[in-house]
Amino acid sequence: MSNADIIRAHYAASDRGDLEGMLAPFAAEVRWTEAAGFPYAGTYVGPQAVAENVFGRIQEDWDDYTVAIDEIVDGGDVVVGIGTYSGTYKKTGRFFAARVAHVWRLEDGRVQEFEQFCDTELVGRALRD
């Protein structure tokens, strides 16, 4: 399985709501960075930290949150996913849609690093009353 296939499998698990499948390719010390200005901004280390501080919070805070990746760029050990986030923030009832790019760095078939790039202003508008 190529690194791009590993990332495709992660996104497919996300589409199914399969947290175990989403975390499966993560290295024990994976470094996951959410963009500055994003509601969950920061760097989380380890699969459990990502599950709790990113995936779990998204489930708690949003209705119908989706990550629709429409392009995977296969750069070997670096894979880029390009797509759109969307959802409705529960506290305000506001919907957003924003383009996103994910940069994945893999070694020996394991995700070592993830970095998110997103138009955080569009997300922030959904958070504000």
Span 98-126, pLDDT tens digits = 999 999 999 999 999 999 999 999 999 99
CA separation for the pair 66, 64 (Å, rounded):
6
Identify the DSSP state of 52.
I
Domains defined for the chain, CATH in brackets: 3-127 (3.10.450.50)
- Asked if residues 99 and 84 have their Cβ atoms less than 8 Å apart, the reply is yes
Torsion of CA 27, 70, 53, 111, to 10 degrees: 10
Please tell me the pTM assigned to this model: 0.95
Q: How many CB atoms lie within 10 A of CB 109?
A: 12
- Asked if residues 81 and 74 have their Cβ atoms less than 8 Å apart, the reply is no
pLDDT at 129: 74
